[in-house]
Amino acid sequence: MSETEFIIEPGRQDIIIKRVYDAPRDVVFKAVTDPDLIPNWWGPAKYETVVDRADVRPGGSWRFVSRGDDGEEYGFRGVIHDVAAPERVVQTFEFEGAPGQVSLETLTLEEVDGKTQYVAVSVFQSVEDRDGMVQSGMQEGASETMDRLAEIVEGR
Amino acid sequence: MSETEFIIEPGRQDIIIKRVYDAPRDVVFKAVTDPDLIPNWWGPAKYETVVDRADVRPGGSWRFVSRGDDGEEYGFRGVIHDVAAPERVVQTFEFEGAPGQVSLETLTLEEVDGKTQYVAVSVFQSVEDRDGMVQSGMQEGASETMDRLAEIVEGR
């Protein structure tokens, strides 16, 4: 299994996450956009992910809820600027626990020799917001999420 | 009439535009969100602005067309993440002439002593995209736009 690469440079407003999946692009695109598959990989495994809304089209919107063993719920939501299957999704992202802090996510999938290069760029409204996201332990959660996605698309 | 302030720092991914309007916040909010008023100030005066779509609500979308004297048309569009009247709008922005280059705009209106502090933060997917927008002559167009908005809201 490949590793997840994070590019987080000081003073910048973005977080870049890269991963190579040993699966065709169509398979990765379907896994990241299909509301039936999203709960299988989205977020750390210790939370159940409930897809409240996933209207995956330009002008659509999404909302996922992470539910812990203790019944605690965390909501995440955004609007979808663009979807170009099977290569690109551009959407906004907001954790409802930090209202008003919104980021713009651009996911690009490129097929290289039968594998898929996944690149997700998240840009934040300020360097401080970006740094806060890093300090919240984002990397650990995202690594686990990317590993879970690998299990789905690589069928292991 | 006050001046428009631009904050464009080297190596960053954002453009910040500030302006103080001598008008109540409600008046400024209405001017920037009302589809009937938008054509009166949006974009440089040499273009006619046609509001193709302005569904100003969370999850809504917008599209404006700038039409030149020569009949040439330039489309702009995005989706609306959040609208909190009369203080905040968060939306995406894309010039259809540069497809795939999307920015996230956060407009905040704050009322101070009967005047309104307008702050618009645009974050781009990369420093290169941000620099390209600056080099396209954005500042000249935005200054004119902000002056036109002043004429509307200050009633001069």
DSSP one-letter string for A98-116: STT-EEEEEEEEEEETTEE
The answer to whether residue B53 sits within a structural domain is no
The answer to whether residue A68 sits within a structural domain is no
Other beta carbons within 10 Å of A139:
15
CB pairs under 8 A between A and B: 77
Q: Report the alpha-carbon distance of residue B77 to residue B67 in Å, rounded.
A: 15
**A96 three-state secondary structure:** coil
Q: What is the pLDDT of residue A1?
A: 62
Cis peptide before A24 (omega within 30 of 0): no
Confidence check: pLDDT of B41 > 90: yes
Q: For residue B123, give the nearest of A13, A78, A80 by CB distance.
A: A13
Q: What is the pLDDT of residue A156?
A: 61
The answer to whether residue B52 sits within a structural domain is no
Mean predicted lDDT score pLDDT of chain B? 95
Q: What is the pLDDT of residue B2?
A: 76
The answer to whether residue B107 sits within a structural domain is yes
ipTM of predicted assembly, 2 dp: 0.93
Q: Is pTM beyond 0.80 here? A: yes
The answer to whether residue B119 sits within a structural domain is yes
How distant, in Å, are the alpha carbons of B41, B111, B116, B146 from that of B18?
16, 13, 10, 9
Identify the CA nearest to A50 among candidates A29, A69, A74, A70: A74
CA distance A83 to chain B (A): 10
Which residue range forms the structural domain that includes residue A110?
A: 5-44+86-153
Would you say the C-alpha torsion B41, B44, B50, B52 has a positive or negative sign?
A: negative
The answer to whether residue B149 sits within a structural domain is yes
pLDDT bracket for residue A2 (50, 70, 90): confident
Contacts of A106 in chain B (CB under 8 A): 102, 125
The answer to whether residue A75 sits within a structural domain is no
| Overall domain count for chain A | 1
Give the domain CATH number at B148.
3.30.530.20
